[in-house]
Structure 1
Amino acid sequence: MSIQEWLLLMSHSTCNSQSQLPPALSSLLVEGVAQNTSSGVYAPGVSFFTIVISLYVDDLLVTGSCVQEIEKVKKELMSLFEMSDLGQVSFFLGIEINQSKGEIILCQRKYLSEILKKFKFDGCKSVRTPMNMKEKLVIEETKEEVDERNYRSLVGCLMYLTTSRPDVLFAVNVLSRFLNNPRRSHLVAAKRVLRYLKGTLDYGVLFKSDFEADLVGFADSDCVGSTQDMKSTSGFCFMLGSNCFSWSSKKEELVAQSTAEAEFIATTTAANQAIWLRKILCDLGFNPRIPTQINVDNQAAIAISKNPVFNLMSKFIFKKANKYFISARSFLYGEY
């Protein structure tokens, strides 16, 4: 069996279409492989096993459902390209991968230790939370300035850390809003994140084997969390069984005039992500058994999603959120 017949390639965000793949590797995917360019997934029409190759520049991760086929993939790739087999993965792009029976733990302990050492926080006292929720960070033109390059470097390091640390994602999202002309209050808040990370050095993401896992989402909004532009921050996470694998925290582009509107925008953002994730899962051969449920803690947003009709309260929400709007009804009530 040739590589064209069973190769399933899932590329990273730096390689989202076949035109962006290395020419030699792209030539292997021309025939016998179904391509989904929107997700960067290349899948063969084979159902009895799955092979996944994750590509980042010149680094490859090979995994799948059959050990023999994985070895066959590696041997054939090594016959076509000059490469080395480093064995079972334990470290990839700054992420430590600890494998044991039935579970995998992803963490960035080494990378985090280097960050703490770089900013001289390796001996600091830890705190229990990454940020003080009672403190609202704003642009302060009259306050004391700090080294802009140092602040950007710190926030940039923290951004990559959110790959395996969703618990600091919201805090890093807020800090990233002040990369231009940061003030002392912003630097103090960034240092608090480092102090929190110092006490949670071993934290990471745990993945357990779950053969009957369903895709479930959670969405929320802080409702006018940014007092200067009156915009809210939306957040969501998705789980397969007990495994959290997708998360996001981002300021909404629209100014919400009510809690229901802010929550509804967060829900539609999560619904868009759910559609994309379902396509990815289908391309990988894991067809979701049931509609994806998105959990929201706002009754008004749920009511609007359940019955998306125009009325005095909702017509402005639909008009402003038209660019985002995908009714969550299909996910909440089983019509997807």
Structure 2
Amino acid sequence: MQPPAGYTKAKPGDVCLLRRSLYGLKQASRQWNTEFCSKLLAYGFTQSVHDHCLFTKHTDSSSLFLLVYVDDVLVTGSNPEDIKLLKHHLDSLFTIKDLGEAKYFLGLELARTGDGIYLNQRKYIIDILKDAGLLGCKPASTPFPQGLKLVHDSGSPLSQPDQYRRLVGRLLYLNLTRPDISFCVQQLSQFVNSPCVDHWNAALHLLKYLKGCPSKGLFYAANNPCSLKAYSDADWAACLDTRKSITGFCIFLGDSLISWKAKKQTTVSKSSAEAEYRALSSTVCELQWITYIAHDLQLQIPLPIPLLCDNQAALHIVANPVFHERTKHLDIDCHIVRNQFKSGLINPLKVSSSLQLADLFTKSLGVGVFLKMISKLGMVDLHHGPT
């Protein structure tokens, strides 16, 4: 570090010895995280090995939970006095700014009542629409037109691809509270390297949908039962460029949606049963992780966890390993589904395709089916869109 301008005491060739971490330096965030974690551990917290941002402290009479994102911290617990003591301790160490009960955190808006907590990103969406100049546009009924599938080299290349990349990046963060756009964001994010006009038009259509429901978000009931349920689905050979399938799943804690994903599979599946089986594997991995986090929070999750799939052949593969011709080419990691079935973690069940909620994460649906699906995801809208 060179001496700052105006500092005359430094001799030619002298440099500054850095004693504290400064913003902007490459090692700053790492040093801050190391220091903050060491203080929390000294206070009696335990850092989760499954999510290093989560710290827990359990005693016979109370529990404390702390979630860290760089220098922003969320604290909750069963005893308000313990929370006050923790904040006083942190203030004596780092001079923190206490913002009271969480209402706005990293773009997430939180509304709390006796019935539960409502999460949305209304302000974040309004900012996106304002930057795109679409605050006065006509809203769309669905994120994508029904059956839309994007491909590479679709139309002429964009003259300003950075604009597309910046928009997709913001939409990825918006996916934190908007499972209804998860599939569309997954599709758009495939073309950030070389976006075309058709990709940009699809992104604008998604913004028009958000214009009609900017305050739609997730509601978590206070009296929610502590039981998990998962839906898993796949759209076989959905990618027209690579013929890879799309995995989609959603996981509920009671009636509240807590995890979801739409992602292209890494390999080409030879059949729809194989694609569904790979989707089951991804869902089981997520369920395992959630049970580990629940253990850190000292939550008792009833086992086995219902895992609903609408493909009977995939369920047969889980229950019967004799399908040699169909399964001999599958990777070992796919068989985590059968292993966890035998251990009692999951209970694979058949569900009708019309009731398969994970269908929302694998394809663009029509208006009627789409509205029916998102209503079952626990999404609510407390406001109307801007006019």
Shorter-chain TM-score bucket reads 0.7 to 0.9
Is contact 1:234–1:251 with CA below 8 Å preserved after alignment?
yes
Larger deviation, residues 81-90 vs 275-284: 81-90
Deviation at 1:221, TM superposition (A): 0.8
Partner of 2:119: 106
Deviation at 1:211, TM superposition (A): 5.2
Is contact 2:224–2:253 with CA below 8 Å preserved after alignment?
no
Deviation at 1:42, TM superposition (A): 3.7
Tell me, in whole angstroms, the C-alpha distance in 2 between the residues paired with 1:296 and 1:105: 29
Partner of 1:80: 93
1:205 matched to 2:218:
yes
Is contact 1:126–1:198 with CA below 8 Å preserved after alignment?
yes
Superposed CA deviations along residues 269-320 of structure 1, whole A, max 9, x for unmatched, are: 000111111001001111212222211111111111122335222222x3xx
Deviation at 1:69, TM superposition (A): 1.9
User: Cα RMSD (Å) of the superposition?
Assistant: 2.1
Partner of 1:192: 205
From 160, 181, 189, give the equivalent of 2:173.
160
Q: Kindly tell me: are residues 138 and 47 of structure 1, through their superposed partners in 2, closer, same or farther at Cα, counting changes over 3 Å?
A: farther
Tell me, in whole angstroms, the C-alpha distance in 2 between the residues paired with 1:88 and 1:45: 22
From 25, 49, 56, give the equivalent of 1:37.
49
From 254, 266, 269, give the equivalent of 1:256.
269
From 234, 255, 258, give the equivalent of 2:247.
234
Is contact 1:219–1:266 with CA below 8 Å preserved after alignment?
yes
**Whose relative contact order is higher, 1 or 2, with alpha carbons under 8 Å and at least 6 apart?**
2
Deviation at 1:132, TM superposition (A): 1.9
Larger Rg: 2
Alignment of 1:63-142 (within 5 A): 63-140=76-153
Q: How many correspondences in the alignment?
A: 315
Partner of 1:22: 34
Partner of 1:145: 157
1:290 matched to 2:303:
yes
Tell me, in whole angstroms, the C-alpha distance in 2 between the residues paired with 1:196 and 1:213: 33
Deviation at 1:168, TM superposition (A): 0.2
TM-score computed with the length of structure 2 as normaliser: 0.76
Partner of 2:233: 220
Deviation at 1:32, TM superposition (A): 4.9
Tell me, in whole angstroms, the C-alpha distance in 2 between the residues paired with 1:84 and 1:227: 51
Superposed CA deviations along residues 143-169 of structure 1, whole A, max 9, x for unmatched, are: 322121111111111111101101001
1:327 matched to 2:337:
yes
Deviation at 1:333, TM superposition (A): 8.3
What SS does the aligned partner of 2:127 have?
Answer: helix
What SS does the aligned partner of 1:270 have?
Answer: helix
Amino acid at match of 1:251: K
Tell me, in whole angstroms, the C-alpha distance in 2 between the residues paired with 1:66 and 1:234: 41
What SS does the aligned partner of 2:118 have?
Answer: strand
What's the % identity of the aligned pairs? 35
Is contact 1:216–1:238 with CA below 8 Å preserved after alignment?
yes
Q: Kindly tell me: are residues 232 and 47 of structure 1, through their superposed partners in 2, closer, same or farther at Cα, counting changes over 3 Å?
A: farther
Q: Kindly tell me: are residues 42 and 59 of structure 1, through their superposed partners in 2, closer, same or farther at Cα, counting changes over 3 Å?
A: closer
Tell me, in whole angstroms, the C-alpha distance in 1 between the residues paired with 2:243 and 2:313: 20
Tell me, in whole angstroms, the C-alpha distance in 2 between the residues paired with 1:63 and 1:232: 40
Larger deviation, residues 119-128 vs 60-69: 60-69
Tell me, in whole angstroms, the C-alpha distance in 2 between the residues paired with 1:193 and 1:233: 19
Tell me, in whole angstroms, the C-alpha distance in 2 between the residues paired with 1:65 and 1:107: 25
